[in-house]
Amino acid sequence: MKEPNIWVAKSRLSEEFKEPNKWEREMSQVRILTDRGSAAYFLPEKQNDDRGKIYADTVINGEVTELKTVSGSRTTLGTDFRQGYHQGAALIKNCIVTEKHSVYIRLLSDLSPGSVKAKIAGELKGRSGNGTVICYFEVSGLLCYWTYDELRAIIGMGQKKSPGPA
pLDDT at residue 91, rounded to an integer: 74
Question: What is the fold, at CATH topology level, of the domain defined by 6-154?
Answer: Trna Endonuclease; Chain: A, domain 1 (3.40.1350)
25 strand-pairing partners: none
**31 neighbors 3 (Cβ within 8 angstroms):** yes
CA dihedral 49, 98, 81, 2 (to 10 degrees): -80
Please tell me the distance from the alpha carbon of residue 132 to that of residue 134, in angstroms, as a whole number.
6
pLDDT at residue 85, rounded to an integer: 83
E strand or H helix that includes residue 60: strand 58-60
- pTM assigned to the model: 0.81
Closest listed residue to residue 45, CA positions, set 64, 61, 58: 58
pLDDT at residue 1, rounded to an integer: 55
pLDDT at residue 127, rounded to an integer: 84
Query: For the chain, which residues make up each domain, given as ranges?
Result: 6-154
**pLDDT of the chain, 166 residues: tens digit per residue:** 568 899 998 888 877 778 888 889 999 999 999 999 999 999 887 655 545 556 678 889 988 899 999 998 888 998 899 888 888 877 777 665 667 889 999 999 999 999 999 999 999 988 888 899 999 999 999 999 999 999 988 877 544 444 444 4
